[in-house]
Amino acid sequence: MYPDADVPVVMVSVNRNLTPLEQFEIGKRLEPLRGDGALIIGSGNIVHNLGMVDWRMDDGYDWAYKFDSDIKSTILKGDFEKIVNYNDLEFSELAIPTPDHFYPLLNILGAVSKEEDVKIFNNVCELGSMFMTSYIFEK
């Protein structure tokens, strides 16, 4: 139990040596904890190309919007396998030059069901190549 928390909190470190499918499978193993009332949080970014950050931009590059939109629509359709295979999506190499910030999403998708309600918040792109879109999954 996390100090001062009313529910158990699960934190998972990212192992960048694992494949996207292995990250998703870790999430599947965490799913039973949700039934026990655990709150599972993944922290990262959908689009996170630090090498292309432009401090003068208040929004994002066209490719960043396209990639984030593809991820968002795929999550809403419940096609999690497509996200596990994110390297097949257009602009993935620009959006995810290293997987460490993206892998927490795969952990979470493994732990949720495709039928859950999804709430989207913080749907903001900044500095050209940093998309902060966040998701809440509710049973």
Give me the pLDDT at residue 1, please.
45
Total domain count, the chain: 1
Q: What is the DSSP pairing of strand 134-138 with strand 117-121? A: antiparallel
Q: Report helix, strand or coil for 117.
A: strand
Does 1 fall in a domain?
A: no
Is residue 66, in this structure, part of any structural domain at all? yes
Whether residue 4 is contained in a domain is answered as: no
Summarize pLDDT for 67-79 with one digit per residue, the tens: 999 999 999 999 9
Q: What is the pTM of this model?
A: 0.89
Cβ–Cβ < 8 Å for 38, 9? yes
- Rounded CA separation 24/50 (Å): 24
pLDDT at residue 3, rounded to an integer: 54
> Domain holding 49: CATH number?
3.40.830.10
Residues of the chain with pLDDT under 50: 1-2
Please report the pLDDT score of residue 99 as a whole number.
92
Question: CA separation (Å) from 10 to 2, 61, 104, 131?
Answer: 9, 34, 12, 24
Predicted pLDDT at 125? 92
Q: What is the pLDDT of residue 13?
A: 80
User: Is position 138 within any domain?
Assistant: no
What pLDDT does residue 42 have? 87
For 4, 80, 137, the CA distances from 12, given in Å and listed in that order, are 19, 19, 17
Residue 139 within any structural domain of the chain: no
Quote the domain boundaries for residue 17.
Answer: 9-133
Predicted pLDDT at 116? 92
Judge whether 19 lies within some domain.
Answer: yes
Residue 48 lies inside a defined structural domain of this protein: yes
Say what the pLDDT of residue 9 is.
Answer: 73
Residue 113 located in a structural domain: yes
**Residue 57, token pair as written in the block:** 């931009």
